[in-house]
């Protein structure tokens, strides 16, 4: 049996980090996905002699554990958890899982994979027990770059595993693709499991990344509550990857440490971010119908993104590579902000309609010129 599930990455338009401390944030799914393909041998095949395998195709590494070894190390977990209500991974269980991951020598340059492997082992053994199987993971998302690769990993894995366990199943088709969607209740369950995976990778996630990866579209998120945002006119964003690697867990911990050193100052920063996210989400929802409204909507969005970036600098999560992108885009009067955990990773730049119209006019002008010269050429 083969089951395939995919989940998208995301951008955060406003509110990252502050959302961990209770502020609102706004995020949107993007069309880059992580896919998990689960292969299960027929029941009775492999048995206690079988293995649990994971093939991480993007990093070119594969890992496996004999089922008997997993059963010995995890005992209770391998008797399968209550699937409708996942329990958090206890520190003892996490320590046992870490020892299982350490059985493999992961190259130093790819040691960051160990968090993803721990999340994999937790989700696999909690949902399917210690039965043999193989998962192949592939992704179009850059890993550790602020586009929610860890959440897409946890959501696609949870989707495939819960489908195999028979507790969720796909319903309607996604327009124009071979993919089918899960119903609302099933998505809720996938999201709850994926959040447990995110906790293993991130330490203290707010839940925004797994929520937007599970439910898609554009959302406002505050203290675990999700509101769908209906955006009339889509805004265009350019995503620049600084290619500076960083780790969300460490950055989130750094902000919490700063907050405990300067509680009042940081509370004001988080409050300001909350106001920005609230205002941004209401602007997004304003149905812009004519050109003037669209322009003023973009101007407001740009200003709010600029203010949010300033507050992210206050939190200590910007980086010289991010500042270079900010300066470069500012030369063209374009506003940018980091997205996701910062410290490197990706930067968003709002591309206003005026620039798009300018680009379209340039392309039209160039093709017109080319057309004229190609027509006139034979006569000249
Ligand atoms: N396709 C994948 N294969 C294996 N591990 C993955 C994959 N995608 C994500 N991971 C795990 O997630 C980690 C990256 O998560 P991290 O939260 O640091 O960055 P991100 O999710 O890309 O960015 P952000 O959280 O800011 O949106 C990797 O180090 C790895 O452990
Ligand atoms: C930095 C953060 O706010 C967003 C990471 O994409 C962490 C989180 O909310 O879990
Ligand atoms: Mg992440």
Domain boundary (205, 228, 251) is at 228
CA of 380 to the centre of ligand 3 (A): 61
Q: Which residues contact 239 (CB under 8 A, 6 or more apart)?
A: 11, 30, 147, 339, 346, 347, 348, 349
Say which DSSP state 147 is in.
Answer: S
CA of 145 to the centre of ligand 1 (A): 8
Residue 369 has a pLDDT of 57
In a domain, 244, yes or no: yes
212 and 279 both lie in a single domain = no
Per-residue pLDDT tens digits for 239-285: 999 999 999 999 999 999 999 999 999 999 999 999 999 999 999 88
In a domain, 369, yes or no: no
20 and 168 both lie in a single domain = yes
Q: Is 308 left (phi over 0), alpha (psi -120 to 50) or beta?
A: alpha
All residues with CB under 5 Å from ion ligand 3: 150, 248
Among 150, 242, 251, say which to mutate for ligand 1: greatest number of ligand atoms within 8 Å of CB: 150
Where b means 16+ CB within 10 Å and e means fewer, 302-321 reads bebbbbbbebbbbbebbbeb
Q: Which atom from ligand 1 is nearest to the alpha carbon of 147? A: 27
In a domain, 79, yes or no: yes
Q: Is 234 exposed, middle or buried (0-12, 13-18, 19+ CB in 10 A)?
A: exposed
In a domain, 213, yes or no: yes
222 and 247 both lie in a single domain = no
Residue 87 has a pLDDT of 83
Given a cut of 90, whether residue 135 has pLDDT beyond it is: yes
- Catalytic residue annotation: 209
Residue 379 has a pLDDT of 31
Find the domain containing 197 and state its range. Answer: 2-228
Residue with tokens 């206050």: 314
Residues in contact with ligand 1 by the CB-under-6-Å rule are 34, 56, 58, 112-113, 115-116, 137, 139, 143-150, 153, 201-202, 209, 247-248, 340-341
Look up the CATH number of the domain holding residue 246: 3.30.70.890
Domain boundary (168, 194, 228) is at 228
Given a cut of 60, whether residue 290 has pLDDT beyond it is: no
CA of 156 to the centre of ligand 3 (A): 14
Ligand nearest to the CA of 224: 2
76 and 188 both lie in a single domain = yes
In a domain, 366, yes or no: no
In a domain, 376, yes or no: no
Ligand nearest to the CA of 141: 1
171 and 309 both lie in a single domain = no
Residue with tokens 């300067």: 262
Q: Which atom from ligand 2 is nearest to the alpha carbon of 207? A: 10
Mean pLDDT of the chain: 90
CA of 359 to the centre of ligand 1 (A): 35
| Dist. CA 32–CA 335, nearest whole Å | 23
Q: Which atom from ligand 1 is nearest to the alpha carbon of 115? A: 31
Percent of the chain with pLDDT over 90: 75
Given a cut of 60, whether residue 373 has pLDDT beyond it is: no
Residues in contact with ligand 2 by the CB-under-6-Å rule are 12, 16-17, 19-20, 148, 202, 205-206, 208-209, 248, 252, 340-341
Look up the CATH number of the domain holding residue 36: 3.30.230.10
Among 200, 252, 318, say which to mutate for ligand 2: greatest number of ligand atoms within 8 Å of CB: 252
190 and 87 both lie in a single domain = yes
192 and 240 both lie in a single domain = no
Residue 342 has a pLDDT of 98
141 and 111 both lie in a single domain = yes
Q: Is 58 exposed, middle or buried (0-12, 13-18, 19+ CB in 10 A)?
A: middle
Q: By three-state DSSP, how is residue 92 classified?
A: helix
The residue whose CA is least distant from atom 10 of ligand 2 is 205
Among 8, 15, 19, say which to mutate for ligand 2: greatest number of ligand atoms within 8 Å of CB: 19
Where b means 16+ CB within 10 Å and e means fewer, 326-362 reads beebeeeebbbbbbbbbbbbbbbbbbbbebeeeeeee
Given a cut of 70, whether residue 112 has pLDDT beyond it is: yes
158 and 199 both lie in a single domain = yes
In a domain, 354, yes or no: yes
Residue 310 has a pLDDT of 98
Q: Which atom from ligand 2 is nearest to the alpha carbon of 12? A: 6
Per-residue pLDDT tens digits for 308-361: 999 999 999 999 999 999 999 999 999 999 999 999 999 999 999 877 766 666
Q: Which atom from ligand 1 is nearest to the alpha carbon of 10? A: 27
Domain boundary (212, 228, 244) is at 228
Please name which of 44, 5, 11 lies closest in space to residue 27, comparing C-alpha atoms. 11
CA of 59 to the centre of ligand 3 (A): 17
Say which DSSP state 248 is in.
Answer: H
61 and 204 both lie in a single domain = yes
| Dist. CA 357–CA 322, nearest whole Å | 27
56 and 74 both lie in a single domain = yes
Q: How many domains does the chain have?
A: 2
In a domain, 367, yes or no: no
174 and 208 both lie in a single domain = yes
> Distance of alpha carbon 191 from its chain centroid, rounded?
13
CA of 205 to the centre of ligand 3 (A): 8
Please name which of 308, 343, 245 lies closest in space to residue 12, comparing C-alpha atoms. 308
């Amino acid at each position: 049996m083969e089951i395939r599930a995919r989940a998208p990455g995301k951008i955060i338009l406003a509110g990252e980090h502050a959302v961990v401390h209770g502020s609102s944030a706004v995020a949107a799914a993007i069309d880059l996905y992580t896919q998990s393909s689960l292969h299960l041998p027929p029941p009775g095949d492999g048995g206690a002699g079988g293995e649990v395998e994971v093939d991480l195709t993007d990093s070119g590494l594969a890992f496996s554990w004999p089922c008997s070894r997993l059963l010995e190390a995890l005992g209770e977990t391998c008797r399968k958890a209550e699937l409708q209500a996942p329990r958090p991974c206890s520190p003892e269980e996490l320590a046992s899982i870490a020892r299982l991951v350490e059985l493999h020598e992961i190259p130093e340059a790819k040691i960051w994979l160990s968090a993803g492997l721990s999340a994999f082992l937790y989700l696999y053994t909690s949902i399917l027990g210690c039965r043999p199987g193989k998962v192949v993971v592939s992704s179009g998302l850059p890993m550790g770059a602020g586009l929610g690769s860890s959440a897409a990993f946890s959501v696609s894995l949870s989707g495939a595993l819960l489908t195999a366990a028979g507790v969720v199943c796909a319903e309607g088709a996604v327009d124009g693709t071979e993919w089918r969607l899960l119903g609302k209740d099933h998505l809720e369950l996938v999201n709850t499991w994926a959040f447990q995976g995110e906790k293993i990778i991130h330490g203290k996630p707010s839940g925004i990344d797994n929520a937007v990866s599970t439910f898609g579209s554009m959302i406002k998120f505050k203290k675990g509550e999700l509101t769908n945002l209906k955006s009339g006119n889509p805004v265009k964003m350019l995503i620049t990857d600084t290619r500076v690697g960083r780790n969300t867990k460490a950055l989130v911990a750094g902000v919490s440490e700063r907050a405990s050193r300067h509680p009042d100052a940081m509370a004001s920063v988080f409050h300001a971010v909350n106001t920005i996210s609230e205002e941004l989400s209401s602007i997004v929802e304003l149905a812009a119908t004519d050109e003037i409204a669209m322009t003023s909507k973009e101007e407001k969005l740009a200003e709010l993104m600029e203010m949010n970036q300033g507050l992210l600098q206050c939190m200590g999560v910007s980086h010289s590579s991010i500042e270079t992108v900010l300066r470069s885009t500012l030369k063209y009067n374009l506003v940018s902000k980091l997205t996701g955990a910062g410290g490197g990773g990706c930067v968003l730049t709002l591309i206003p309609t005026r620039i798009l119209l300018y680009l379209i006019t340039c392309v039209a002008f160039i093709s017109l010129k080319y057309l004229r010269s190609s027509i006139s050429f034979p006569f000249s």
